[in-house]
Structure 1
């Protein structure tokens, strides 16, 4: 079932503050409506930004359809948790996708490969912000996400890692063996390493 805007209820301040603080007392035993802010953020989006794992788990127990819900910028709660560097929450969100669907791996792949409005996956967001543990969590749960090619600028996670000068993340992505090397204007991660004189990357990106 896909949620549509007509089913959304404006979020009141009490729910907003509870999501920000991680206060589960307000949740009760059911969440009959999908409450969102003006920016389309659900309680799960807001709590994910703060890394409130217990609150997120409780919300998903009551309303699992919030897991793939996008806000006005196309971000899922997974995008937001990855951008903020909350690796344990990233792991929990992906595990929830597995547990709550008979499709298992297909559901995980769909969630992890979701792109926001600038075509970034959660992996792009983790790489761009230098969150090594989040990259590890994503790669452990869905290693194929490194092969998801590009955002709107034609940049793969591997190319982005080289641009961000993150050797550990470059190594981690290459361990998957299927990471896309694509960059903008026909460049690859190896081009970027050479042009930026990043000699320490060349042995890895040319393997």
Structure 2
């Protein structure tokens, strides 16, 4: 009896190949044929699951976002039961600062996806929606951590997110040590009135 092919697994396999192509060769090297070669499958098979490069890129962007979300959940889970809001805030923001080879690779991929979205309105809208949700969550954590009003928290959330992303760019582009970037993040959290970022309330 023929082995049943899991379409979701096959799409994920192709997306992983796309990630490797982008991380190694950049966005300009991405094509259905190039990704097929990287994945070890035929171009026809890639086209069976993705009718166009844009459809493949859209799926891969969603998969990359899911990877970041999983990493953030793991970081928060590592804080233990009922973590302090300040600790959760740091766990989220520190994920924008690459601290390992895998995270450096994912950071480069993220930059390429952002460049792609700049020229594709539907991709840009998707990124904007995700960014708005993230800022709202950060703002809620800031209210809990520092007691400021919602408007002030929203402003601080936007600033801290932009700062964390900027530090991540420094690590990616100019070789700033991740430890230095994390120290800068901690300093900004302190300046924004976020209390103890490392201990849970009952620690």
Please classify the TM superposition score into its range, dividing by the shorter chain length: 0.3 to 0.5
Q: TM-score, normalised by structure 2?
A: 0.32
Greater helix percent: which structure? 2
Higher alpha-carbon Rg: 2
Please, what TM-score do these two structures have when normalized by structure 1?
0.32
Higher relative contact order (CA 8 A, sep 6+): 2
